[in-house]
Structure 1
Amino acid sequence: MPAILAVLAAAVLFGTTGTSQALGPAGTTPLGVGAMRLLVGGTVLAVAGFALAARARARRGIRNPPLSRRAVLLMVVTGVCLAGYQPLFFLGTSRNGVAIGTVVALGSAPVLAGLLEWMLRRRAPRPVWLVATVLALAGVAIITLGGEGTGAVDPLGVVGSVGAGAAFAMYANAQRRLMDDGWDPFTVAGAMGLTSALAALAMVPFASFAWLADPRGAAMALWLGVATIAVAYVLFTWGLERMSAATAATLTLAEPLTATLLGILVLGEHLTLGGVIGLCVLAAGLVLLSAGSRARREPRPFAAEA
């Protein structure tokens, strides 16, 4: 239960991302907001993750396996995918609104995470998982066609949201495989923060940061970086160590729920009947997906210092 609550708390923090950007100052761009979110959040996440890992080593004798090419590659994958997630996610929410953009991004993530785990582990999915996948994809398609009350859904925004869902699935699986290899979750989180902050430096020359001069812009950057990256990913990675990537991605459905409620209650967004039907179909598929993957993963014990 603590692991489930940790991932749910992370998902609620994730769910404030789109609304925070929407409430920010004019002149922001998906690339600029994403880069600043990573520079702040990735740096804080790296410091916090490595500090917590050092504390765990000192207090409980936890040690990591020797650093290998595979581990370095997986750590780079987590950071690059987290970096790619940012502009893709904000592209989706800026084009289609917070509710639709977040639902499509995080609605597709559990399905994509499950597919990736299937490919990596070469284990055929159960029939219930296939039915859930079809339902979830149908829900995303209905949402895309149904749109919001303000007009049709922008296809480029949908591509951005699904791309963000794919990036989420990839770094969740990479993190899970690192922990399967014996790496403690805080080191994994710190490595993701460090590599994502370095990846964000490549975005800086192409982004505008004039909006940071506005106090609302500075506050938005701090919230997005510290709360929705550093705090959220420490919680998420700690919880992920005790479950599969697909299960963790399913639990993050609290994010689109949070974003949808904030979009409707705070930003005044609303859905058409088609959008509501799509949400219901997507939710049905994800509930079925969650019910069909009840087998719990036992956490891998960490090696202790002799």
Structure 2
Amino acid sequence: MARIAVVGSINLDLVTTTARRPEPGETVLGSGFETVPGGKGSNQAIAARRAGAEVDFVGAVGDDLFAAELRTALDDAGVGTARLRTVAGPSGVATIVVDASGENTIIVVGGANARMTELSQPDLATIAAADLLLCQLEIPIQTVLAAAHHARAHGTTVVLNPSPAQDLPPELWHAVDIAVVNEGEARRLGSALDPVPHVVTTRGGAGARYRGPEGEFDDPGVTVEVVDTTGAGDTFTGALAAHWHEGPRAALAWACAAGALATTKLGASASIPDAEEIERLLAQRN
């Protein structure tokens, strides 16, 4: 079982479903609404745990009404929350609109995540004790950089999902062992990814592509009936991290199956499959 430290964001997702997403200035009628714990860091932590890893989460919630629900979501999933701090102000939120085809539009307000500006000694100890560090870009970049440097200094493999895509300092790229990007992010980042030994590119329904010391290869993924794509990339990344110790090919197979299953239900964390579900889908594919 891999031991993973996730340093990242946790949000409450406010999810509205509608036949089609509105054009600028347009009002449309929705068909449903629910609140779902989310955030890229939290989603990936839960996905890694459900895929079989031992996971500790380093992050922040506010002192508002959303905080207890967010903490409970991690606890219920079996993710360690000893390093989940409470800060003054609102927790992070994401407003999500999902249309009838399952495509979504998302607005994220960082809240407590934006105040994750430093790592404590216990936070750093959690990173040093892990096999893998998993980070995203919904918390301050200096915190991600500090986490990556500490991981590199202590032999912890650094996995970065550079989303939302943005310009990053070269020293961060040189501290990353594995980058997980979608095709749009890969195009935007371009040569910035060159220093990263392992690059995994997700391709939606077409699976994923690997580039690294083992050469280049594709995993075709699996076909499912899509309900909501929210959180599918996070589920992919968490499952990939959980099974990276088995090698890139096995990890990509697990990740593609997990990501596909995540699109078959509404919501982010609520749609993340467990290891048994993933294994059944892999068995059917094989």
TM over 0.5: no
The structure with the greater share of residues assigned to strand is: 2
The structure with the greater share of residues assigned to helix is: 1
Kindly name which structure, 1 or 2, has the bigger radius of gyration based on alpha carbons.
Answer: 1
TM-score by length of 2: 0.24
TM-score by length of 1: 0.22
